[in-house]
Structure 1
Amino acid sequence: MTTAASDLSEEVLSLTCKISKEHLLKAKEHGFSDCQLAYIFDVSDQDIRNLRKQYGLDSVFKTVDTCAAEFDAKTPYHYSTYDKENESVRSDRKKVVILGGGPNRIGQGIEFDYCCVQAVFALREAGYESIMINCNPETVSTDYDIADKLYFEPLTFEDTIRILEHEQPLGVIVSFGGQTPLKLSTKLEEAGVAILGTSSKGIDLAEDRKKFGALLRKLDIPHPDYDTAVSFEEAQEITGRIGYPVLVRPSYVLGGRAMKIIYSDDSLKEYVDQALFISEKYPLLIDRFLETAVEFDIDALADSTDCVVSGMMQHVEAAGIHSGDSTSILPYHNIDPSVIETMKEYTRRLAESLNVVGLMNVQYAVQNNKVYVIEVNPRASRTVPFVGKATAVPLVKIATRVMLGEKLSDLRKEYRLADCDELGMSHLAIKEPVFPFSKFLKSGVYLGPEMRSTGEAMSLAYDFPEAFAKAYQAANMELPTSGSVFISVNNHDKDERIINIAKKLYDIGFDLIATAGTQQFLADNGIECKKVFKVGEEGRPNVFDTIRLGKIDLVINTPLGERALHDEEAIGAASVMNGVPFVTTIEAAEASVQAIACLRQQEFGVKSLQEYAAYRQA
């Protein structure tokens, strides 16, 4: 549909003088996006799009035969190009488009693809044609036999809106592919596209720190002190006001990329100087870091009138470790019931205020039994597959049906969700991250706010020690039942907890080895422990030699604040190279000791997911 010249904006009229139809077509044929052309001509993306429409230039779709002409392909896939013939035929069925997770990278992995695939299955059961847009050949959602129709296209506004104009779906699901499709929701809704599930307004309210902070104050929900900055001077003023340590990160990151815990002005200046991109639109986010707090991930299902808390996962590690790298327990373990009720109440208030329709994830920090909201994601989170399998409840299927207009109150009855607590689990599940440290020895093995895991394993049992021991085995980390344990903890961790850990290990027959400071602390508390040299100290063998010679069976080493000491990195590298299990937080050490005691007392049998889920049929 062409637009009269009189209706064109001044920007588009001036563009017609700079680039003719022929030149624009040639640019598009050579792969220039609207965004690139807008940058070249110093105009907006929309101006380039309007000019293309004025010239009548649009991409067409070509078909890739997934069966190589051997027989008729039931699900061919399509890609766009600037040509004359369009090979994608629109059906007359009612259809829904799902936006996938985009290219593969740490922080946006298979968890989101699982959600997309489960949504496809749910749409098929509901009688809809499912159309997938994704550009990752390593995902299940891009397999030839999953969706009814697949567009192998980048997840940009330009490419997505062109497909939607062609297919004319009833709506688009953006909340199953992580942050990438979520960022498109506002522009798509402004273009007249129906977003199924939480609206772009609700998504923006949760993503925009200032708007979200105002909402939390209105709801009287505590949160760590925070602010935003676009310069070192502003950042320094904020840290002077809220105090160190702080958690800093760029806006709209995924997988905790470039996040860091900062303890001083010097480190803050170094971080700001190295930041690649900070602006008024994308400021630096600065949060007061709650040391020693316990973190929780809460998954919930909601619609405009109802909310079901579907999973409450407690992190084994203290606050500061990215949720994707944390060992998570479902349901919670040894937590005050009043804290649990507070988190449930906050979750319901947030779901109602954000008008969540579908899935939502909330991250909390609990310090001295006070609950703080860290962030809210009005979308599927990376924990959804874990919670769905552990509870035997098809969360994505239910969320998809809610997005299509069904009432959660009705689905409660169908899926037996009424009057239950965390979906009524009668067992315990643990999510254990898997790391690529053996492939990247020089990357360092100590965890922080930036996600580093590349997979995860899951274990099920009826008590915590057994579940934790199984989780280690599933992640290819064999805990020893005898031998020697190396212990080196920072001054903050030299308290009753490490005394109890060392005493339990000593009592069940382990030999203890430690560096000077930790050895002296344990000896002062009546625990026999041998001393070993640090890597940088004079004298051999040092701790690196001892691990390398196979004389250590378990390493417990907690780094000190932000300092990545040479000795600690050497210990981690030696552990990885020699296949020695290691833990880097005191919380993981406590759990490991319980698991070792369990391993010494019993052998584990095999039980299927279906057997654990039998309680759902009771």
Structure 2
Amino acid sequence: MRNENIKKVLLLGSGALKIGEAGEFDYSGSQALKAMKEEGITTVLINPNIATVQTSDGFADKIYFLPVTPYFVEKVIRKEKPDGILLAFGGQTALNCGVELHRSGILEKYGVEVLGTPVQAIMDTEDRELFVKKLDEIDVKTIKSEAVNSIEDAKVAAAALGYPVIVRAAYALGGLGSGFCDNEEELVTLVEKALAFSPQVLVEKSLKGWKEVEYEVVRDRFDNCITVCNMENFDPLGIHTGESIVVAPSQTLSNEDYHWLRKLAIKIIRHIGIVGECNVQYAFDPTSMDYRVIEVNARLSRSSALASKATGYPLAFVAAKLGLGYGLFDLKNSVTKETSAFFEPALDYIVCKIPRWDLGKFHGVRREIGSSMKSVGEVMAIGRTFEEVIQKGLRMIGQGMHGFVGNNQRDLPELEHALKEPTDKRILAIAQAMFKGYTVDQIHDLTKIDKWFLYKLQNIINTAGELRDYNELEAVPEALLRQAKEQGFSDFQIAREIYQENLTEPEKALLDVRAYRKKLGILPVVKQIDTLAAEYPAQTNYLYLTYNGRENDVKYLHDHRSIVVLGSGAYRIGSSVEFDWCSVNALLTVKKEGWRSVMINYNPETVSTDYDICDRLYFDELTFERVMDILDLEQPHGTILSVGGQIPNNLATRLDAQNINILGTTAQSIDNAEDRNKFSAMLDRLGIDQPRWR
């Protein structure tokens, strides 16, 4: 049972959102606060980020809008006298602050107990030299490396290891200050940069081109361990996980590979002494089963937010409870509400995460992606086939893509270079190469992406080619139309492949495809994420839509008591956690007023996509087509657009044209504000001055 001496807990937040440390820590912190509240523990939160859900009224008992630094945290400790402190829920900011509080003796001075993973274990994972030594003790292989504190030492280390090498900064997040070096000149530049972020730099042998695989692992103080989720990067090693397309569960590992790495992950977490949650990242050579451990994060991360949403296993909630002293056998799975948290999730679906970059908003920025994160957000798509989720995901990132085919048919300059040297547009380069007749083997040689993924992408290209053989909708065989929908083609994509340059009225063509497939009975079904592949009944409505199924998992009452709230999608420059705050508060108000709250969103970092924030969560697209599919099923009283930012606003006039009841500001008023011509004309009518514009 839990530690009864803990009556008041201090939780460190992550502060301002930054690249590599975004809304996922609002989500994990909110879950930890929820877990404490359930135990009757008084919570004190330090987080200066006013846009977060966790700093809202009702989550923590007391909030300090102060910097998460040892100086300010000590002042709060002195005033509040907490019994325990949680360090794992505020990202690198909280972790580094916690280590400093421990080293300076502040925690000991005030008698504050670190709940969960001990600080020594955190230091063993964060300090690269200690980390390698720790894993050497149990004969677990790490990448050959040397920790250095100066440029001269780095030169010696790189010469001994042999180029190419990778430089990494200790105590940093998102691959900050890291990169690959092919020669001494590049090394000096990178090490100078890395030492500006961190006192210690790791120079390690490059294994570029190997697979990158990750395991999310949970351990309690009684040494019970489970792996909650394993993930595989679509991109080979050399591209930071945050910059990579990621699938869960892994698709290209054999059963033997999977269990070998799982066994190692459990061996590592036990030896380090994690209590709660951590992730283990591997470089893996599938041809020889050779591996290297890249790193262990002794905290919640962006990957663990993704794993929580991908499996329906609330990692942060469970980790917080384990930090209080519970065993896994004491806790229930929050989704099934029947089975133990000791059960490892089983998935009867596939999840795909795609990063979102906003590099176009910066002048002179390099578009190459590598070991240091540049992405500002991410999306998660759920479906039954890889083809379906990759197409869904590419639409979700909202950068003018409608799926894998037909995005940017303008020739990319130096196509082979675009395949070999990855940028934020590499997926488009792969599509273009396939259209130009490059084989899977040729693309694999240039990209080192596993052929399994490339063959799946080729399936999409082949179906697009088959659709192009028909120049009118009614001529397309029903089986081909169904196949296209099963592979994740949107109605608009289908229209564009059929009509090509004759597509003069896109909106009409899209509606024609929609009407035609509905007439043929080609409709999506609603499936439930239940964490245990339908072995036990799920109690929560955590849902996605797919064409790879026959019946709905949800019984619809059609009582018009639902209110649908449209979320904000992926974080981007200018649209961030503030819209998550708006969405969550809208959902809580809908519930409070006695209506059924329904959320549509696909951002795994958010509180609004938590399994128990609303009555029904559709983890799915915010496109016109998908929103209409859900509204057809829900038949709600109304739909709220105004809390999700630009994406829902942009759907206003199209939804209004389909007679959808939009609650709050009317579609016409939204259009008058968004359309610059209409807005300008209104100012002229009202006699209000405005700047000259064209």
TM-score by length of 2: 0.60
Contact kept in structure 2, 1:427 and 1:462, CA below 8 Å: yes
State the partner residue of 2:484: 602
Contact kept in structure 2, 1:436 and 1:453, CA below 8 Å: yes
State the partner residue of 2:119: 200
Q: Secondary structure at the match of 2:353?
A: strand
Q: 1:185, CA displacement in angstroms?
A: 2.4
- The 10-residue stretch of structure 1 (596-605 or 317-326) with the greater mean CA deviation from structure 2: 596-605
Q: Secondary structure at the match of 2:302?
A: coil
213, 220, 238: which is aligned to 1:320?
Answer: 238
State the partner residue of 1:360: 278
Q: Secondary structure at the match of 1:423?
A: coil
Indicate yes or no: 2:407 matched with 1:478. no
Q: 1:376 to 1:480 in 2, by over 3 A?
A: closer
Between the aligned partners of 1:274 and 1:168, the Cα distance in structure 2 is 40
- The 10-residue stretch of structure 1 (330-339 or 478-487) with the greater mean CA deviation from structure 2: 478-487
Between the aligned partners of 1:240 and 1:313, the Cα distance in structure 2 is 34
Q: 1:134, CA displacement in angstroms?
A: 0.5
236, 260, 263: which is aligned to 1:345?
Answer: 263
Contact kept in structure 1, 2:13 and 2:47, CA below 8 Å: yes
Contact kept in structure 2, 1:489 and 1:558, CA below 8 Å: no
Code of the aligned partner of 1:406 = Y
Pairwise CA RMSD? 3.5
Contact kept in structure 2, 1:468 and 1:591, CA below 8 Å: no
Indicate yes or no: 2:208 matched with 1:291. yes
The 5-angstrom pairing of residues 112-511 of structure 1 reads 112-189=25-102, 190-191=105-106, 192=108, 193-273=112-192, 277=196, 282-304=199-221, 305-367=223-285, 368=287, 369-411=289-331, 416=339, 423-440=345-362, 442-476=364-398, 477-479=401-403, 481=405, 486=412, 488-490=415-417, 510-511=435-436
Contact kept in structure 2, 1:317 and 1:587, CA below 8 Å: no
The 5-angstrom pairing of residues 524-539 of structure 1 reads none
Between the aligned partners of 1:526 and 1:252, the Cα distance in structure 2 is 39
Q: Secondary structure at the match of 2:359?
A: coil
Q: 1:361 to 1:502 in 2, by over 3 A?
A: closer
Between the aligned partners of 1:310 and 1:262, the Cα distance in structure 2 is 35
Q: 1:557 to 1:412 in 2, by over 3 A?
A: same
Q: 1:586, CA displacement in angstroms?
A: 9.2
Between the aligned partners of 1:346 and 1:212, the Cα distance in structure 2 is 15
Q: Secondary structure at the match of 1:617?
A: coil
Contact kept in structure 1, 2:9 and 2:85, CA below 8 Å: yes
Q: 1:120, CA displacement in angstroms?
A: 1.1
Q: Secondary structure at the match of 1:313?
A: strand
Q: 1:264, CA displacement in angstroms?
A: 0.8
Q: 1:437, CA displacement in angstroms?
A: 2.1
Between the aligned partners of 2:430 and 2:122, the Cα distance in structure 1 is 49
Q: 1:436, CA displacement in angstroms?
A: 0.5
Q: 1:230, CA displacement in angstroms?
A: 2.7
Code of the aligned partner of 1:381 = S
Q: 1:171 to 1:184 in 2, by over 3 A?
A: same
Between the aligned partners of 2:429 and 2:169, the Cα distance in structure 1 is 40
Between the aligned partners of 1:313 and 1:354, the Cα distance in structure 2 is 22
Q: 1:333, CA displacement in angstroms?
A: 0.5
Structure 1, gaps ≥5 residues long: 1-91, 495-500, 513-521, 528-555, 562-583
Q: 1:293, CA displacement in angstroms?
A: 0.6
Contact kept in structure 1, 2:145 and 2:161, CA below 8 Å: yes
Contact kept in structure 2, 1:98 and 1:130, CA below 8 Å: yes
Q: 1:290 to 1:391 in 2, by over 3 A?
A: same
Q: Secondary structure at the match of 1:114?
A: helix
Code of the aligned partner of 2:416 = V
Contact kept in structure 2, 1:312 and 1:330, CA below 8 Å: yes
Code of the aligned partner of 1:303 = D
Q: Secondary structure at the match of 1:183?
A: helix
Between the aligned partners of 1:268 and 1:171, the Cα distance in structure 2 is 43
Q: 1:333 to 1:585 in 2, by over 3 A?
A: closer
Contact kept in structure 1, 2:6 and 2:83, CA below 8 Å: no
522, 536, 540: which is aligned to 1:617?
Answer: 536
Contact kept in structure 1, 2:252 and 2:452, CA below 8 Å: no
The structure with the larger Rg is 1
Q: 1:593, CA displacement in angstroms?
A: 3.6
Q: Would you say how many aligned residue pairs link Structure 1 and Structure 2?
A: 456
Contact kept in structure 1, 2:172 and 2:197, CA below 8 Å: no
State the partner residue of 1:549: none
Q: 1:418 to 1:132 in 2, by over 3 A?
A: closer
Between the aligned partners of 2:441 and 2:196, the Cα distance in structure 1 is 53
Between the aligned partners of 1:371 and 1:134, the Cα distance in structure 2 is 39
Contact kept in structure 2, 1:417 and 1:423, CA below 8 Å: no
